């Protein structure tokens, strides 16, 4: 009999399974609806030898040394730094918007005094959220804030979320701040890279333990019964814990309505040319219907004369039709989530973990950190 059941073999479920198997030395059953492990981190090697990320580009970056050390037990790293360019007014310029972007996009007669003003008001190296910069009183800085807002954030955010930047949690646009430096990298974290042989292999290694059993192509409703105060498995006397990493609204049959998620139509293309673009990712805030194009060869080099690109077309999530990639963090949705969370708390053997179950915009490192915490506080 399994003392622990985990729903979802994404990064959250896999790290939790490893903790239970290794530290508690208990048997754990992981069930997964898809026909593969890894959740949205899943990748595979194409015939060309290029590793592609099937659910969108994933770059690992963290300042958590413990998380990096933990994952390093399961993979070698390719020490990769991610560069993103924005296609703005027909020019390619570094993102996040930094001092180089300023000089690339605006004439020197404007860029020079604006840089001076910025550095008088803020420290070199500071990261300023666009919604904060927009509150500037100074006429010139307000001009700059509006310029960046309109050229970089407004249309991209409308495409990505169907909402304007001030209609979603400020933390979303804060992910890509205005950077007062000449560092052109997309992330500034101390540890950055991609698993040498891909995320799927890394997660396979995390799950590789005699105490862990995995059932693919299995949904929670096939093996679990949700009662008023408890989750049952197999028989009425089940006393084990259920760690759920799927959609919380689905778990409770949409009792308080649907929690909206944003999805993506991911269009991969294999091209008969050696390279397609000069950076791994190019964002298109204002042009076309896709948000960005990623060329995987920059992330995982391969000896081939072909290349593979991915265009991301954002769309509404519809149950059964596409994947729920991003929780839409409006105040209203967060209120609905709170109701589900309260309901979950009435189920004494239920533990929530992950992007979907916690309705949070977690990065991979945050997921691992969160799994550590939930393991210590609610599982151990
Ligand atoms: P998921 O990966 O969604 O895993 C949940 C798993 O549970 C899935 O496999 C699902 O099939 C399964 N499941 C759900 N419901 C059920 C059910 N009822 N029964 C059975 N199984 C079920 N993070 C970074 O750090 N860097 C990046 O560059 C980055 N890029 C990203 C790009 C995109 C397009 C997206 C969508 C995310 C990105 N992320 C990135 C975030 C990263 O994907 C997440 O942090 C991570 O995948 C979350 O893991 P999880 O286990 O919570 O969720
Ligand atoms: N964003 C934007 N323009 C850009 C890049 C990002 O407006 O060129 C905003 C947009 O709202 C996006 C958010 O910042 O959803 C977070 O961007 P990030 O690149 O972190 O998104 P992810 O990789 O998670 O899809």
Asked if 172 and 130 sit in the same domain, the reply is yes
Q: What is the arithmetic mean of pLDDT over 340-346?
A: 98
Asked if 102 and 216 sit in the same domain, the reply is no
Does residue 302 fall inside a structural domain?
no
pLDDT band at 1 (very low <50, low <70, confident <90, very high): confident
Does residue 186 fall inside a structural domain?
no
Asked if 135 and 168 sit in the same domain, the reply is yes
Q: What is the arithmetic mean of pLDDT over 108-115?
A: 98
Q: Are 226 and 99 in contact (CB under 8 A)?
A: no
Ligand whose nearest atom lies closest to the CA of 265: 1
- Ligand 2: centre distance to CA 195 (Å): 23
Q: Are 47 and 305 in contact (CB under 8 A)?
A: no
**pLDDT at 290 (0 to 100):** 99
Asked if 151 and 27 sit in the same domain, the reply is no
Ligand whose nearest atom lies closest to the CA of 216: 1
Q: What is the arithmetic mean of pLDDT over 310-323?
A: 97
Asked if 160 and 201 sit in the same domain, the reply is no
**pLDDT at 69 (0 to 100):** 98
**pLDDT at 169 (0 to 100):** 98
What contacts 342, CB < 8 A, 6 or more positions away? Answer: none
Does residue 264 fall inside a structural domain?
no
Distance in angstroms (rounded) separating the CA atoms of residues 274 and 225: 52
Ligand 2 mutation pick, 82, 85, 128, 173, max ligand atoms within 8 A of CB: 173
Ligand whose nearest atom lies closest to the CA of 85: 2
Does residue 233 fall inside a structural domain?
yes
Asked if 363 and 233 sit in the same domain, the reply is yes
Does residue 50 fall inside a structural domain?
no
Does residue 158 fall inside a structural domain?
yes
Q: 93 CB less than 6 Å from ligand 2?
A: no
Q: Give the ipTM.
A: 0.99
- Ligand 2: centre distance to CA 78 (Å): 24
Order of strands, sheet of 77-78, starting from the edge strand that comes earlier in the sequence:
60-62, 191-195, 77-78
Q: What is the arithmetic mean of pLDDT over 237-244?
A: 92
With a cut of 90, say whether residue 239 has pLDDT above it: no
Asked if 223 and 334 sit in the same domain, the reply is yes
CATH number of the domain encompassing residue 215: 3.40.50.720
Long-range contacts of 352-355 (CB under 8 A, 24+ apart): 352/243, 352/244, 352/245, 352/248, 353/12, 353/13, 353/16, 353/243, 353/244, 353/245, 354/8, 354/10, 354/12, 354/13, 354/245, 354/246, 355/10, 355/12, 355/40, 355/327
Distance in angstroms (rounded) separating the CA atoms of residues 26 and 349: 16
With a cut of 80, say whether residue 81 has pLDDT above it: yes
**pLDDT at 114 (0 to 100):** 98
Q: 């040498």: which residue's tokens?
A: 196
Domain boundary (125, 149, 179) is at 179
Domain boundary (147, 179, 211) is at 179
Q: Atom 52 (ligand 1): residue with closest C-alpha?
A: 354
Q: Ligand 1 pocket by C-beta < 6 Å: which residues?
A: 7-13, 31-34, 39-41, 55-60, 219-220, 245-247, 250, 325, 354-356, 362-365, 367
Asked if 341 and 253 sit in the same domain, the reply is yes
Does residue 299 fall inside a structural domain?
no
Asked if 242 and 166 sit in the same domain, the reply is no
Q: Which residue range is the domain that position 363 belongs to?
A: 4-42+67-72+197-259+328-379
pLDDT band at 11 (very low <50, low <70, confident <90, very high): very high
Asked if 247 and 368 sit in the same domain, the reply is yes
**pLDDT at 238 (0 to 100):** 84
Q: Beta partners for 5? A: 29, 242
Q: What is the arithmetic mean of pLDDT over 160-185?
A: 98
Does residue 28 fall inside a structural domain?
yes
Asked if 254 and 336 sit in the same domain, the reply is yes
Q: 156 CB less than 6 Å from ligand 2?
A: yes
**pLDDT at 191 (0 to 100):** 99
| Cα 262 from chain centroid (whole Å) | 12
Alpha helices by DSSP H, 226-269: 248-251
Domain boundary (152, 179, 206) is at 179
The tally of domains found in the chain comes to 2
pLDDT band at 236 (very low <50, low <70, confident <90, very high): confident
Ligand 1 mutation pick, 7, 14, 31, 39, max ligand atoms within 8 A of CB: 39
**pLDDT at 175 (0 to 100):** 98
| Average pLDDT of the chain, as a whole number | 98
- Ligand 2: centre distance to CA 371 (Å): 25
pLDDT band at 333 (very low <50, low <70, confident <90, very high): very high
Other Cβ atoms less than 10 A from the Cβ of 102: the count is 23
Asked if 25 and 145 sit in the same domain, the reply is no
């Amino acid at each position: 009999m399994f003392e622990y059941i985990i729903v979802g073999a994404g990064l959250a479920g896999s790290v939790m399974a490893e903790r239970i198997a290794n530290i508690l030395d208990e048997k754990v059953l992981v069930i997964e609806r898809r026909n593969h492990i890894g959740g949205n981190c899943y990748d595979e090697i194409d015939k060309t030898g290029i590793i592609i990320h099937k659910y969108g580009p994933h770059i690992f970056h963290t300042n958590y040394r413990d998380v990096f050390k933990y994952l390093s037990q399961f993979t070698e790293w390719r020490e990769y730094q991610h560069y993103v360019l924005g296609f703005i007014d027909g020019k390619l310029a570094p993102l996040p918007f930094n001092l180089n972007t300023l000089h690339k996009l605006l004439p020197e007669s404007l860029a020079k005094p604006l840089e001076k003003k910025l550095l008088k008001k803020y420290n070199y190296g500071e990261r300023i959220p666009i919604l904060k910069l927009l509150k500037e009183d100074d006429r010139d800085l307000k001009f700059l804030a509006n310029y960046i807002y309109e050229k970089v954030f407004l249309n991209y955010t409308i495409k990505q979320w169907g909402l304007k930047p001030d209609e979603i949690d400020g933390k979303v646009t804060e992910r890509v701040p205005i950077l007062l430096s000449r560092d052109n990298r997309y992330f500034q974290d101390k540890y950055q890279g991609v698993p040498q042989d891909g995320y799927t292999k890394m997660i396979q290694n995390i799950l590789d333990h005699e105490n862990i059993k995995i059932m693919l192509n299995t949904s929670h409703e096939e093996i679990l019964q949700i009662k008023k105060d408890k989750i049952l498995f197999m028989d009425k006397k089940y006393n084990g814990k259920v760690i759920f990493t799927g959609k919380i609204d689905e778990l409770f049959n949409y009792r308080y309505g649907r929690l909206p998620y944003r999805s993506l139509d991911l269009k991969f293309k294999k091209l008969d040319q050696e390279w397609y673009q000069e950076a791994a990712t190019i964002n298109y805030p204002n042009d076309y219907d896709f948000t960005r194009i990623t060329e995987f060869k920059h992330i995982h080099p391969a000896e081939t004369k072909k290349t593979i690109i991915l265009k991301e077309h954002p769309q509404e999530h519809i149950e059964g039709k596409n994947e729920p990639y991003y929780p839409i963090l409006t105040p209203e949705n967060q209120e609905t989530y709170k109701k589900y969370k309260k309901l979950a708390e009435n189920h004494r053997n239920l533990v929530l973990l992950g992007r979907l179950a916690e309705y949070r915009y977690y990065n991979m490192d945050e997921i691992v950190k969160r799994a550590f915490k939930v393991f210590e506080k609610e599982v151990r």
